[in-house]
Amino acid sequence: MASTADIKNGVVLNLDGQLWTVVEFQHVKPGKGGAFVRTKLKNVVTGRTNDKTFNAGAKVDIENVDRRDFTYLYDDGDGFVFMDTTDYDQITLSPAVVGDAKNFLLENQQVTIALNNGNPLYIELPTSVILEVTYSEPGLQGDRSSAGTKPATVETGYEMQVPLFIETGTKIKVDTRTGDYLGREK
């Protein structure tokens, strides 16, 4: 067991059987009363955030989370198959664990998978990826009713909003955190 002095950003805590990542923390020592630690926690599985305050010196259960590099191989219909880049072992992750990351996964793409006691928790993608637009209707010059954007489908099947000048076959940069268009790639 660790104490509140060991709480730092990125540490994973086990609270009531659920895993929470520390997003922010602040040690507070008021003029009156005892010191405490104010934290903002994010649930590893659901992504829900929660604020929690611990008394200074309280015991907390810190979990060991191993982040390892994997290469995405393919979707076998039941799950997503990844290969460990160090020992070439393959693991299959369920769509629930992969979540929205499936919208940005391309074969042979490098990702980081967080593991706790051998159980996969979540996938960390690069902040941006390059995807090819597979379908987009032609943009009409002068059409500004939609603030200069139109729907487009990228090679992973994800549909997003792009500027009117983007055509089918164009490679674009996409933010994996929000799914937003970031720019064209040459």
- pLDDT, one tens digit per residue, over 34-57 is 999 999 998 887 778 999 999 988
Give the residue extent of every domain in the chain: 2-63, 66-124, 128-184
Q: Is the pLDDT of residue 146 over 60?
A: no
Whole-model pTM: value is 0.73
By the 8 A CB rule, do 82 and 111 touch?
yes
pLDDT band at 74 (very low <50, low <70, confident <90, very high): very high
66-124 shares its CATH topology with 128-184: yes
Q: How many CB atoms lie within 10 A of CB 4?
A: 19
What does the buried/exposed string (b/e) look like for 95-111 if buried means 16 or more CB atoms within 10 Å of the residue's CB? Answer: eebbeebbbbbeeebeb
CA distance 75 to 63: 30
By the 8 A CB rule, do 63 and 7 touch?
no
pLDDT for the residue 155: 93
**The domain over range 128-184 is classified in CATH as 3.60.15.10:** no
Superfamily of chain region 66-124: Nucleic acid-binding proteins (2.40.50.140)
CATH architecture of the region 2-63: Roll (2.30)
Mean pLDDT of the chain: 88
pLDDT for the residue 17: 87
Token pair 């490679």 is found at: 171
